[in-house]
């Protein structure tokens, strides 16, 4: 407990303030919980039931930063190209329909 108190005092926060903050975030978690799901499972379940679903997927990088197609060593550890949809969501390429690419200059 002494170590924890010393860390808390480094940030000039009392243990009571810290406990209050933790409780506040627990309430946030309770409110958000109904909206949190295993999206890989939900997506694959919908696909297996042949439901028509629209999924918006965002890639935060560019193709030239792709781990497979980018200019190594200046790459990211993910696949931000369209192929990353399959690896990121765990879905088969055959179920991916229309793709819309957006780019900015």
> Could you state, in order of their start, the residue ranges of all structural domains in the chain?
54-105
d(CA 39, CA 58): 14
Query: What does the pLDDT look like over 47-86, one tens digit per residue?
Result: 899 888 888 877 767 778 888 888 889 998 888 888 888 8
Indicate whether 28 pLDDT > 90.
Answer: yes
The share of the chain scoring above pLDDT 90, in percent, equals 22
Indicate whether 25 pLDDT > 50.
Answer: yes
pTM: 0.55
């Amino acid at each position: 407990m002494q170590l924890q108190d010393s860390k808390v005092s480094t940030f000039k926060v009392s243990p009571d303030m810290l406990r209050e903050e933790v409780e506040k975030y627990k309430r946030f978690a309770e409110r958000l919980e109904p909206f949190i799901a295993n999206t890989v499972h939900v997506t694959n379940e919908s696909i297996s039931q042949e439901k028509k679903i629209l999924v918006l997927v965002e890639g935060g990088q560019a193709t030239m930063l792709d781990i497979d197609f980018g200019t190594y060593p200046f790459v990211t550890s993910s696949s931000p190209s369209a192929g990353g949809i399959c690896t990121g969501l765990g879905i088969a390429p055959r179920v991916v329909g229309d793709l819309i690419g957006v780019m900015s200059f």
